[in-house]
C-alpha cells in the first residue's frame, strides 16, 4: 500500500533544511573569520622572530626578545588548540553542504509524489544532520536573525531555534479534554 505524504509536510521539512543550510553557512563563515584572526598573529610572531634573529650578531642580546616572542607564539597556539576554530569551520561547512544536498533532494520530488518511505528517509537524514550540529557553537545573533526571518516569512524553523526568538511563549492549539468527564470511580 502506497501512502502519500501531504505537500505541507514536505514543505515544512524543506523549510527546516533550508534554514539549517543558511545557519550552518553563517556559522562556517564566523569560524573561518575566527581562524583567520588566530593565524595572523602567528604569522607576525614568526616574522618578528626571523627579523630579531637576523639583526643581531650577538646571541645573548636577542635572548630575551626571542623568549618573549616564543612565549606569545606558544600562547596563541594553545588558545587556538583550545578553541579549535579550524575544526568548527570544517564541521559547519560540511553540515551546510549536507543540508543543501538534502534540500535539493526534497525539492526535486514532484508536487504530491512523495511516499511515506521517502519522507521518513528524508526526516531520518535531517535528524542525523541535526545531531551533528553544535548549536552552542553558533553565535546567538545568527540564530536569532535567521529564526526571525523565517518566522516573519511564515516558514517553518527547526525546533532548536524556537526558543531563540521567544517562540516558546506561544501556546499550541492542543486537543482539549473538555468533553471527557473525569471520575475517581474504579471500574
Q: In which domain, by residue range, is 19 found?
A: 7-167
Check whether 104 has a pLDDT greater than 80. yes
| 165: confidence class by pLDDT, cuts 50, 70, 90 | low
Q: How far is CA 120 from CA 9, 70, 109, 151, in A?
A: 11, 55, 14, 25
pLDDT at 2: 52
Question: What does the pLDDT look like over 24-41, one tens digit per residue?
Answer: 999 999 999 999 999 999
Q: Is 42 contained in some domain? A: yes
Q: Is 184 contained in some domain? A: no
Q: Is 180 contained in some domain? A: no
Which residue did the predictor score with more confidence, 150 or 55?
150
17-20 long-range contacts (CB < 8 A, ≥24 apart) are: 17/99, 17/102, 17/103, 17/106, 17/126, 18/99, 18/103, 18/155, 19/146, 19/147, 19/150, 19/155, 19/156, 19/157, 19/158, 19/161, 20/95, 20/99, 20/129, 20/130, 20/133, 20/158
Indicate whether this model's pTM tops 0.75: yes
pLDDT at 110: 77
The number of domains in the chain is 1
pLDDT at 92: 97
Q: Is 176 contained in some domain? A: no
- Report the C-alpha gap between 84 and 72 in whole angstroms: 18
Amino acid at each position: 500500500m502506497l501512502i502519500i505524504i501531504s505537500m505541507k509536510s514536505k514543505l515544512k521539512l524543506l523549510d527546516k533544511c533550508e534554514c539549517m543550510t543558511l545557519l550552518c553557512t553563517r556559522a562556517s563563515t564566523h569560524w573561518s573569520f575566527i581562524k583567520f584572526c588566530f593565524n595572523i598573529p602567528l604569522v607576525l610572531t614568526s616574522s618578528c622572530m626571523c627579523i630579531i634573529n637576523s639583526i643581531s650578531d650577538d646571541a645573548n642580546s636577542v635572548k630575551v626578545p626571542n623568549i618573549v616572542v616564543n612565549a606569545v607564539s606558544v600562547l596563541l597556539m594553545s588558545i587556538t588548540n583550545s578553541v579549535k576554530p579550524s575544526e568548527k569551520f570544517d564541521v559547519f561547512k560540511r553540515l551546510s553542504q549536507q543540508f543543501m544536498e538534502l534540500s535539493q533532494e526534497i525539492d526535486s520530488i514532484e508536487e504530491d509524489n512523495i511516499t511515506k518511505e521517502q519522507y521518513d528517509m528524508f526526516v531520518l537524514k535531517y535528524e542525523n544532520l541535526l545531531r551533528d550540529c553544535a548549536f552552542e557553537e553558533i553565535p546567538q545573533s545568527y540564530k536569532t536573525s535567521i529564526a526571525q526571518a523565517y518566522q516573519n516569512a511564515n516558514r517553518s524553523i527547526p525546533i532548536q531555534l524556537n526558543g531563540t526568538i521567544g517562540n516558546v511563549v506561544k501556546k499550541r492549539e492542543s486537543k482539549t479534554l473538555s468533553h471527557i468527564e473525569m471520575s475517581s470511580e474504579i471500574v
